[in-house]
Structure 1
């Protein structure tokens, strides 16, 4: 898979953000990147969106002029041995070798941890809803609450620095310019509703009472959640 130049040959001053999403439906579900989209565009970034899970026949975006790589959530597990996850993992490895900063969100954070040498397993403590975390880098990641919706968890590699956690496990880590998150900073009501549509479409059962509570909480906290996402993005970008 030829996705660009070698390390040190990447374009400087690029404004192109490569975004990996995970859903066969281009209009619904996990292709919705929520507040990250307008927040990146407002900072002058052009989004180049690709999907490995239903796009193995497509040529992935070149990385040689990419300012960043953002890897979003997925209903699949980062430890699954499927062809598209292998292809996406190789793509992340190439980005790392080319020094392209990576932001991994939920599944994306898990896959980043795995590619860097960490582990991803089924969690003993699945998390759903707005949950606070303990952070050692509040200028990058505040205590939240942040939106959690996952059944798997990562353990960052020894080469990384864990900067946020809670009783359920690690919540964020950094390695160089890469940032892996277990939570969803991009969440808004529209994103959550697109997930709900995808669950119905794919026959995924959810606790409806829990879904209703989360929907209510997101509606009440949507402005604050976007402010947190914006602050996180600013801190991460400035760290490049």
Structure 2
């Protein structure tokens, strides 16, 4: 079984989700849309792989907005087409943060600014804790999505929908894949300034992330297994 991970920037990686997919027997291939040298000018050209070459697609987070054409205008259309075709072919998609927003947009939902950003570890209200544990989950986003027509919202908080099901696909607003290494990268790429601007201590966030490593792995494992077994309905 072959899984494709869409890394939109060099700082993000499949992390805990990727590790669990490999433990479940998946051959995981990652592609990077925006290379490191274009991080601050992400309007690049990129040719996405065909969805029918894969048994599973993971669309990861990004520091940009799906609707920001100055940042993603040249490649977001290709990703939306990929996710839309995957859905129609029955290829399961796990969309994470930006990836969930792209999935929602591709299937007829929408994305817009959240009432306020979410940065750090938060709990969510889940209708199905065996699929989406209550957390805490790591979050770093400024936007929120309206799930597409026919989707089922399965988790939320006061800011936005936190998880939705659409056929064999799952979108989550939080970051189940997160590792302390990636949190450190976010902070180094302007995240420290963002934290301070919103009244957060970046060193506290990093320390909290270290303290959460074991429960974060447990939650990521549970979510990945439930996604594979109950939503994607595929196993190796």
- Deviation of the 1:37 alpha carbon: 2.0
- Deviation of the 1:235 alpha carbon: 0.2
- Separation in 2, partners of 1:140, 1:185: 12
- Separation in 2, partners of 1:112, 1:164: 16
1:159 to 2:150 alignment: yes
Q: In the alignment, which residue of structure 1 is the partner of 2:26?
A: 45
Q: In the alignment, which residue of structure 2 is the partner of 1:169?
A: 160
Unaligned runs of 5+ in 1: 1-14
- Cα deviation, 1:20-71, whole Å, max 9, x if unaligned, reads 0112x4xxx12x2221221111111111212334596554333324111100
- Separation in 2, partners of 1:175, 1:97: 11
Give me the TM-score of the superposition, normalised by structure 1. Answer: 0.85
- Deviation of the 1:128 alpha carbon: 0.8
1:19 to 2:5 alignment: yes
Contact 2:123 2:135 in 1 (8 A): yes
1:67 to 2:58 alignment: no
Q: In the alignment, which residue of structure 2 is the partner of 1:206?
A: 194
Q: How many positions carry a matched residue from both structures?
A: 218
Give me the TM-score of the superposition, normalised by structure 2. Answer: 0.86
Contact 1:20 1:49 in 2 (8 A): yes
Contact 2:45 2:74 in 1 (8 A): no
Secondary structure at the residue paired with 2:52?
coil
- Deviation of the 1:196 alpha carbon: 2.2
Pair 1:65–1:88, CA change in 2 (3 A): closer
* Matches for 1:112-131 after TM superposition, within 5 Å: 112-131=103-122
- Separation in 2, partners of 1:210, 1:150: 17
- Cα deviation, 1:196-224, whole Å, max 9, x if unaligned, reads 23337xxx832254321211111111100
- Separation in 2, partners of 1:80, 1:224: 34
- Cα deviation, 1:92-140, whole Å, max 9, x if unaligned, reads 1121121110000000001111111111001112111110110111110
Q: In the alignment, which residue of structure 2 is the partner of 1:78?
A: 66
Contact 2:94 2:171 in 1 (8 A): yes
Contact 2:45 2:75 in 1 (8 A): no
Q: Which has the higher helix share?
A: 2
Contact 2:48 2:79 in 1 (8 A): no
Secondary structure at the residue paired with 2:130?
coil
Of 56-65 and 134-143, more deviation after overlay is shown by 56-65
Secondary structure at the residue paired with 1:117?
coil
Contact 2:152 2:165 in 1 (8 A): yes
Secondary structure at the residue paired with 1:186?
coil
Of 42-51 and 66-75, more deviation after overlay is shown by 42-51
Contact 2:50 2:82 in 1 (8 A): no
